[in-house]
A = this chain, B = another copy of it.
């Protein structure tokens, strides 16, 4: 096995062996760029070091020394003595970049003899002693673990004794004195003198760099960045070049494009007569890279050429380091540059249009997380605040504002120009106006499907729900935090609805904006997509938004949300509390015009794309009044006593509403509701037809668990539709399908598919029932499950492949045996989650339906899947 590669022998595809830095240095060497000469000790040598209990094996030592000899030949320099001494850098470099986490030693090879020879050679004793002093400090730090501050303090003391403030005010003698002081200090701490043998310096340093793979900060970095533990680090040994050798020397870093905006053109900075660490340290203010064009036009042009060459070669924006030594340019490093989400998008789009990459490559380069960040406002990524509370990430985006506990107070605050956050134990339809005026919503109860979460997502308003560990007192207008402290009306909070984090005070916000690049990029995903993307939309606003964001139809229109509105909630409540069928029909008739108009408007927006309309689904008591005033109003309206209202409300209460009287169970016990909803749909299509538009509504019966249930409701729909069509003498195409969201429906999907024309998998409920996890309550134990490693992902966020996925697979397999072309979709939170979309695609799902703001992400993932599939 070969453990050491000369830069001439490697290339960019050897990252896992040579590390990222080593592979790129080799690649640049091949491209003919002026790279200081050197070699890379492989990650295999690192493994060998650990396997040999912290010893470099003899054969590896021998390879390293052979490569030093070769380096002496290549550079025409000598290691450890004059006349032209060879000084080298020894740098770590793992397969995945971990900037600053591991160790580096510069100027290695220096000793008293070398110093003397270098003075002779350069006639610059100040530079030589400065180099020597820096080497001692670095070596002591990296190899022996002595803190750099011990040496830096000596430097400070020396400057104070000379009454100067800047390093540059010290002369050669000063630095010589300091070097000697450092050597004494080292010997005092180490009980042995500083090693003058360059080979020993080298081998000790290589060992130290291997060890630095497992230092605390590197382990922590790998953990938080999900980097594998078994990669190891390579070690790069390279001839030193010096930017601090005089006024025609310098050093700098530059990107080929602006990493914040993605703008094309060199973006970077440099310092003359300085070493790399001086740029990083920020003691002197560097110049912008454009300045170099004036100061050293030839060097600038040469660097620009290399930058262009590298970007073309790597087909990605590059982050480069360079040094100018006595008027000669050296390239020290290149790598794909880190960038903001916005820049990531712009660069991918621009480089594609410039012909540097294909659309497919651009799509693969974009991460779903970056796209989500582009679509929603976020907090600046540099913030170091820690959240004071964690709740459910109910609706994405961020909000900064002052807290208010009642909808009317939010409205008043807004009137006064105050950004208000509505804080409630839970919200109800009466709060809608307040929610609309608020910048964000925070609740202590209720899950991802609570009123607050659902309405907020529809409004695109940031929302955190289910903060179980705070106590909200709406009367006292205060929040009691877990640590006992109390927040009062008007206090400031910052909410991150994408993460479920609540911060104290006001955090800086970064706004989202829709750019032309975004539109163009998304149009490419459409060309390549595998799975289709529809939207969950219940209102015209949502439908328009979804259409704008490119939804190919509505995959889930939740009709109950059409009643979450102050004008309609009253007849709806009367309907729920009806004691007779006649009474119920009376109030349903009051609701019919609203539903018909809603459907008509939705149809106009989406026509001719399909709309899946789900019939009334949630437990009815969700709509009932909670406050005494609301109950009084209802009692007055129904002309019954408030006691009677309480009694009727009590009868509707359920112990486990999620598994209670809801879904198609409502249509079976109260067929008149399904009749009204069918009338509204069919009559709306008739209105649409008068405008020469057309649509095929897909009527979806929720919560089916048995073929007979489905058929019972389908018959109501067909009978009602047939009657209206006959009365109007028209024929309207519509489909009747069902949501598959109950485990029993999965195992009996073949029977159900005999009658159902389409399926949409309701993965929210299916996950709840498959796991037996109530989404509203699982917060009591899921965090502990994740902490203890029992669950790695929240199954309500990432679709559970093993359990829920295998039930879906069964359902699809058996359903297709009966109805081979059955249309299959999924709706629910998972439809916007990248891993879940991938799983759905594998399962053979035709479309995913997600909230409008997640459409772009779903399209991106869909396109990425398509590309991956074709590559396999």
- Interface-facing stretch out of A137-145, A314-322, A783-791: A783-791
Residue of B nearest to A772 (CB): B742
Contact among B654, B658, B771 for A780, CB-based, below 8 A: B654
Beyond A471-B647, A777-B660, A802-B748, whether A772 also contacts B655 by CB under 8 A is: no
Contact in complex: A776, B668 (CB < 8 Å): no
**In the complex, chain B residues whose CB is within 8 Å of the CB of A741:** 772
Residues of B within 8 A of A528 (CB): none
- Whether A785 pairs with B668 at a CB distance below 8 angstroms is yes
Q: How far is the CA of A552 from the CA of B789 in the complex (A)?
A: 39
Q: A807 and B747: CB pair below 8 A?
A: yes
Cβ-defined partner of A777 (8 Å) among B647, B654, B705, B748: B654
- Among A784-807, those with CB < 8 Å from B are 784-785, 788-791, 800, 802-804, 806-807
Pairwise interchain contact B659-A703, C-beta atoms closer than 8 A: no
Q: Taking the complex as formed, is A564 at the interface, i.e. its CB lies under 8 A from any CB of chain B?
A: no
Contacts A705-B772, A747-B807 known; A790 to B655 CB distance under 8 Å? no
Q: Of A429-437, A607-615, A706-714, which stretch is located at the interface?
A: A706-714
CB of A665 closer than 8 Å to a CB of B: yes
Contacts of A789 in B (CB 8 A): 708
Q: A428 on the interface (CB 8 Å rule)? A: no
Q: Which residue on B lies nearest to A743, using beta carbons?
A: B743
Tell whether A651 is near chain B: CB-to-CB under 8 Å: yes
Contact with B along A803-826 (1 / 0, CB 8 A): 110110000000000000000000
From the candidates B659, B705, B743, B788, name the one contacting A668 in the complex (CB within 8 A): B788
CB neighbours (8 Å) of A803 from chain B are 705-706, 743-744, 747-748
Q: Which residues of B contact A790 (CB under 8 A)?
A: 668, 706, 708-709, 712
Contacts of A446 in B (CB 8 A): 655
Kindly report which residue of chain B lies nearest to residue A471, judged by CB atoms. Answer: B647
Which residue of B742, B770, B773, B776 contacts A655 across the interface (Cβ within 8 Å)? B776
Chain A 302-314 interface mask (CB, 8 Å, partner B; 1/0):
0000000000000
Please count how many residues in chain A sit with their CB below 8 Å of the partner chain's CB atoms: 58
CB contact list, A697-744 vs B, under 8 A: 703, 705-706, 708-709, 712, 741-744
Residues of chain B within 8 A of A784, CB atoms compared: 668-669
Minimum CB–CB distance for A649 against chain B, Å: 12
Partner of A742, one of B744, B770, B777: B770
Chain B's closest residue to A807 (CB) is: B747
| Complexed CA–CA distance, A655 and B465 (Å) | 14
Per-residue CB contact flags for chain A residues 626-650 toward chain B (1 = under 8 Å, else 0) read 0000000000000000000001000
Report the separation of the CA atoms of residues A771 and B742 in the bound assembly, to the nearest whole angstrom. Answer: 6
Chain B residue, CB-CB nearest to A705 = B771
Task: List the B residue with the shortest CB-CB distance to A652.
Answer: B780
The minimal Cβ–Cβ distance linking A346 to chain B, given in whole angstroms, is: 43
Say yes or no: B791 contacts A706, CB within 8 Å.
yes
Chain B residues positioned under 8 Å from A768 (CB to CB)? 659
Q: Let me know if A743 and B770 touch, CB within 8 A.
A: yes
**A802 to B749 CA separation, bound complex (whole angstroms):** 11
In the assembled complex, the CB of A667 is this many whole angstroms from the nearest CB of chain B, namely 11
Query: A325 on the interface (CB 8 Å rule)?
Result: no
- Residue picked from A774, A777, A789, A803, most chain B C-beta under 10 Å: A777
* Cross-chain contact of A769 among B743, B747, B781 (Cβ < 8 A): B743
Q: Is the CB of A661 within 8 A of B781?
A: yes
Q: Give 8 closest A-B pairs by Cβ, nearest first.
A: A656-B774, A659-B774, A744-B803, A660-B777, A743-B743, A655-B776, A661-B780, A654-B777
* 11 CB < 8 A contacts A-B: A445-B655, A469-B651, A654-B780, A655-B657, A658-B772, A659-B773, A659-B777, A660-B774, A668-B788, A705-B771, A712-B788
Starting from the known contacts A659-B769, A665-B781, A669-B780, 13 additional A-B residue pairs (CB-CB under 8 Å) come to A468-B651, A469-B651, A658-B774, A659-B768, A660-B774, A660-B777, A705-B771, A743-B743, A743-B772, A743-B807, A744-B771, A748-B803, A769-B769
Question: Residues on A close to B: CB < 8 A?
Answer: 445-447, 468-469, 471, 647, 651, 654-661, 663, 665, 668-669, 703, 705-706, 708-709, 712, 741-744, 747-748, 751, 765, 768-774, 776-778, 780-781, 784-785, 788-791, 800, 802-804, 806-807
